Chain A
């Protein structure tokens, strides 16, 4: 059983550019959540996808968008990058069953915006 994978591991962009981050969910999982983790802080929820539909969103502007594909992999797109977007971006997958469900995290993508 493979775990959650993310690519790339590191990325450097300049302010105003656009970036796409990718995530492959754990085998058997149909739900993907994205989180942003600034240095020294806990992760903040961006949004979640369940069976290719957005299933909830945190307090992030519309320039943060996402997709989920039929194989349940996912992309996070960020347009018009700002310096404050520099962070570790985490993807987590889960089974999508009702009730409390454990989310399993990938290794993250470290984004630096200059």
Chain B
């Protein structure tokens, strides 16, 4: 069974204080790893898709990387508007309905 574990569960940062979020996964083959941002009471907003180990993608202050066992989401010089829950999900070959298996998320609070 596919499993995704995110750490830490919560992260408090000062504005400008860079940090990294971890997503460890166990799947029988990886079709893709996805990062989403979710604001309170809203649906997840797509950030990145990573397909193979060694791949990196960037968007503004966010950079996602992928290895064979984990992914990192690096937040560089965060601003208060980066406060949100960041969700990681995997999609595996043959998964029922191309389902996404999510981790529990990391709640990030950036204080000014």
Per the bound structure, the CA–CA distance linking A3 and B77 in Å amounts to 30
CB of B100 to closest CB in A, whole Å: 6
Q: Are B97 and A47 in contact (CB under 8 A)?
A: yes
B: interface residue count bin: 20 to 34
Known: A41-B104, A110-B41. A101 touches B96 (CB 8 A): no
The stretch of B13-21, B44-52, B58-66, B68-76 that contacts the partner chain:
B44-52
Which A residues lie within 8 Å of B25 (CB)? none
Q: Are B41 and A42 in contact (CB under 8 A)?
A: no
CB of A114 to closest CB in B, whole Å: 19
Return the CB mask of B24-45 against A: 1 if under 8 Å, else 0: 0000000110101000011111
Per the bound structure, the CA–CA distance linking A31 and B91 in Å amounts to 15
Contact of B97 among A4, A45, A88 (CB under 8 A): A45
Count of chain A residues near B, Cβ 8 A: 34
Which B residues lie within 8 Å of A104 (CB)? 46
Known: A41-B104, A42-B87. A58 touches B42 (CB 8 A): no
Which B residues lie within 8 Å of A58 (CB)? 96, 99
Which A residues lie within 8 Å of B6 (CB)? 42
Contact of B44 among A41, A44, A105 (CB under 8 A): A105
Q: Are B105 and A42 in contact (CB under 8 A)?
A: yes
